[in-house]
């Protein structure tokens, strides 16, 4: 998914694309149920600064943005 999230409207587009991806995957995400997704979302939100540091992104997750919210949702789909 290549949606660049920079504002509320692009976040909405991201959510729509994430939903479409989930529907087309047949529910085969790592965390396909709401309880697993929310659990992974919490864990990923705790660890996201490490992701930014490891990928050399100059982002401080303590100052959330639409991009950080999108990255947390994206990560929750696959995080264990």
Residues of the chain with pLDDT under 70: 1-3
Residue with tokens 């100059």: 58
| pLDDT (0 to 100) of residue 7 | 95
| pLDDT (0 to 100) of residue 3 | 67
In contact, 17 and 5? CB cutoff 8 Å: no
DSSP 1: -
Q: Is 39 helix (H, G, I), strand (E, B) or coil?
A: helix
| pLDDT (0 to 100) of residue 42 | 95
| pLDDT (0 to 100) of residue 64 | 87
Helix boundaries (H) for 1-80: 8-24, 34-54, 66-76
Give me the torsion for CA of 28, 29, 34, 40, rounded to 10°.
150
The domain segmentation of the chain, as residue ranges, is 8-76
């Amino acid at each position: 998914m290549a949606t660049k999230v920079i504002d509320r409207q692009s976040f909405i587009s991201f959510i729509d694309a994430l939903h479409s991806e989930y529907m087309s995957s047949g529910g085969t995400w790592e965390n396909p149920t709401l309880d697993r997704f929310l659990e992974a979302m919490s864990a990923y939100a705790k660890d996201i600064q490490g992701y930014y540091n490891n990928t050399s992104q100059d982002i401080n997750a303590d100052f959330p943005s639409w991009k950080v919210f999108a990255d947390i949702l994206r990560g929750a789909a696959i995080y264990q």
